[in-house]
Every structure is written in structure tokens, then in C-alpha cells.
Amino acid sequence: MSPVIRSCSEHSVDFSIIHTGQHYSYEMDKIFFRELELPGAVYNLEVGSGLHGAQTARMLTGLEKILIEDSYDAVLVQGDTNTVLAGALATSKLGIPLGHVEAGLRSYDRSMPEEINRIVADHLSDLLFAPTETAASNLKREGRPESGIFITGNTVVDAVAQNLAIARRDTSVFSKLGVEEGEYVLVTAHRQENVDRQENLSGILKGIELVGNELGVTVLYPVHPRTKKMIEQFALRVPDTIRLLEPLGYFEFLLLEASARLVLTDSGGIQEECCILRTPCVTMRENTERPETVDVGGNLLAGTDPEAVLSSAKVMDLKERSWENPFGDGRAGERILCLLKETLSC
């Protein structure tokens, strides 16, 4: 959302950031506000973690109170988190115009909580800011009015373009971690359907180990708190070839992502960023809501079987990094703001 926030500031559009506190540690929260030089949240509900229902209920209660007390011309939500679900529900019930940034993404796997969240948000939203033609087509097939669908590109392109140059001013993360550019594999894995299932998480760790051994390079794994907890709960052995790291700042991670030999992930956003940066990616899932990354040749779906992860990694490691970026021209934030102002006649 940072490019939309920056566009609001540049065009003197009054706005406020409402933070639910779904992410609340310094590494997963405050560091992003600081590094991206974003204004602080006007509200922070501090809901913390918890079961989906309880967490969403706390958000819904807090958001409804804020939206009633303050006067908003429109509310924007972005992505597929529980925050988006609660924001969409609270806003739509109060009759406030609602815009969904990154609308129309579909994995067609309803066992994923994120899939439910984005479907509900799309069907409650008045303005659907789809990043690609594929996303817009998904919305049309589901009967959403074409008059409310806008293909804007993805704000992740804006964010990468705006921040990579800044990140490159300080490349000390490589020396700090003792790695050379292009000589390591970068890993992220945190999806509920992967890390909450012992068989899947075990398969991911084994697959990562096989890839590291095959390529003969260091494996860097900034581990999400949820994943770390489940590794301990399942008493899984982390292979010696995998270096578990604390979560990194946005700039540090962006640098590592841009210079990695290969990225293994189950994150949707990381798939997009790798595609934009032309870093070969293997997705440790059976499906993706970012099929464009696969279509252009920047990504392969491997699931969590170790041998499948290894075989996909070997293919992507040899891939020519010449695919096209399918996610837009880096002006999505400004485009979304212009469309919003036009629609609201402000």
C-alpha cells in the first residue's frame, strides 16, 4: 500500500492509516514504517495473533467504531489478510465506498484462508483495482460489474522501483551474513497450509536441504515467527545447511531477493517481486494466485514434495532471466488514487 500512501501525500489528499496490529513485532511491523518513511498509523487496534474468528471479530469491532466516529469518503484495503476481511465487512455495512487494491487474485483453493478473504473482499467492494488482465477476468466471471473493475498494474512494481535504488545505498547485509551476491538460495515459508501440517513442513525443510546440497551454496531462511513455533512444536530437525535468520528489514530482504541465485517460497508477494526482479523462483505450493509469474517463465510450482522441490529448482537455476514483467509499469499507486478521485468527484 506504500505507493498509494505516497501518492496521497504528493497530491495533498487527506488520509489516515488504520493499523489492526495483525502483525505486531518490530521485525514484522514497525521496521516497515521506519524504512519506507511512512507516516505512523492514526489508529492501532493492537489485536495481536489468535484464532481466525476471534482475531477478525476484534478487528471488526474496532474498525466499526473508528469508521462511525470519523468521516471517510472511502476506505481502501489491500491484499488477502484477515485485516482485509474485517476492513471490507466493517466498511460495507456502514455504506462507505470500498476499494480493494490487488483485487481479482484467485488460487481456486478454498482451503487457504487468504482465498476466502479476497473473494469476500472482492464481492463487497465498490471499486476493484485489479493488477492484471487475468485478475480482471476472474472478477468478470464472478459477475462483478465491469464499471467497477479497473486494471491498474500492481503496486508491488511501484514499491520495488521506488525502494531498490534506496536499498542499494547500503549493501552491508551481504558482509553481515557472509555471502556473495548470486551465491546463495533465499527461502521463505509461512503459509498456514504448509507450516501447520507436519508432513508439509518436514517436506519443505528436506526439499530446501536437497537444493542447497545440489547447488552447493548457502541457504538463507529468514524464518517467520509462526514457522519457528511450528518447527519447535513438531520437534523437526533443521538441516545444518539451512541458516535460520530472524525476520529481516524490507530493504535488506529486497537486496537479498534481487541478488539471490534462486528463491524458494510459498508467499504470493514474493512470487511477484521475484518475477519483477527477474530472480528465478520456485513456489512450494500446488497452486498460485499469481499465475502470470508461471506463464512468463519466472516461477515453477513444486508443492512440498522434496524431490519435486529439487527438480523444479534445477530447472529454474538454468533459466534465462529474460522474462517480461507482467505486473505493470510502476505507476499503479498514482493510477489508483486518480481513479478514486474521479469516482468520488473529489
Q: What CA–CA distances, in Å, run from 274 to 120, 248, 280?
A: 28, 17, 7
Among residues 192, 189, 157, 162, which one has the least CA distance to residue 80? 192
What the block records as the C-alpha cell of 229 is 513455533
Show which residues are catalytic. Answer: 190
Displacement of CA 52 from its chain's centroid (Å): 18
Burial category of 17 from C-beta neighbours within 10 Å (exposed 0-12, middle 13-18, buried 19 and up): middle
Among residues 160, 106, 157, 159, which one has the least CA distance to residue 128? 106
Q: What CA–CA distances, in Å, run from 118 to 74, 115, 258, 275?
A: 18, 5, 28, 22
Amino acid at 152: T
Helix (H) or strand (E) segment spanning residue 317: helix 306-317
Strand partners, 301: 283
- What's the DSSP call for residue 217? -
CA distance 253 to 222: 9
SS3 287: coil
CA distance 107 to 30: 30
- What's the DSSP call for residue 148? G
CB atoms closer than 10 angstroms to residue 120: 16
